Amino acid sequence: MTSQRTRDRLVQRLRDKGIENEKVLGVMRSMPRHLFVDEALAQRAYEDDALPIGHGQTISQPFIVARMTEILLSRGTPDKVLEVGTGSGFQAAVLSRLVPQVYSVERIVALQIQARELFHKLNFNNIALKHTDGSWGWPQNGPYPAIIVTAAPERVPEALMEQLAVGGIMIIPVGSQSGGQRLLQITRHVDGYVEEELDGVHFVPLLNGAVRQ
Closest to 147 in 3D by CA, of 133, 130, 159: 159
Q: Are 48 and 14 in contact (CB under 8 A)?
A: yes
Q: Does 21 bind ligand SAH (CB under 6 A)?
A: no
Query: CA quadruple 202, 207, 210, 211: dihedral positive or negative?
Result: negative
Give me the 158-187 binding string for ligand SAH, x by CB under 6 A, dash otherwise: ------------------------------
Among residues 122 and 167, whose Cβ is nearest to ligand SAH? 122
Q: Which amino acid is at 184?
A: L
Q: Which of 58, 114, 163, 181 binds ligand SAH (CB under 6 A)?
A: 58
Measured from the CB atom, is 84 or 146 closer to ligand SAH?
84
25 binds ligand SAH (CB under 6 A): no
Rule CB under 6 A: is residue 60 a binding residue for ligand SAH?
yes
Establish whether 60 is a catalytic residue.
Answer: yes
What are the backbone dihedrals phi and psi of residue 2, each rounded to the nearest 5 degrees, phi first? -105, 25
Q: Is residue 57 near ligand SAH by the rule CB under 6 A? A: yes
What are the distances in angstroms from CA 87 to CA 8, 50, 104?
25, 12, 9
Beta carbons within 10 angstroms of residue 60's beta carbon: 25
Choices 17-25, 38-46, 53-61, 179-187 (CB under 6 A): range interacting with ligand SAH: 53-61
Distance between the two ends of the chain, CA-based, in angstroms? 32
Contact pick of 46, 107, 142, 175 for ligand SAH (by CB under 6 A): 107
Query: Can you give the binding site for ligand SAH, defined by CB under 6 A?
Result: 57-60, 84-85, 87-88, 90-91, 105-108, 111, 133-135, 150-151, 204, 206-207
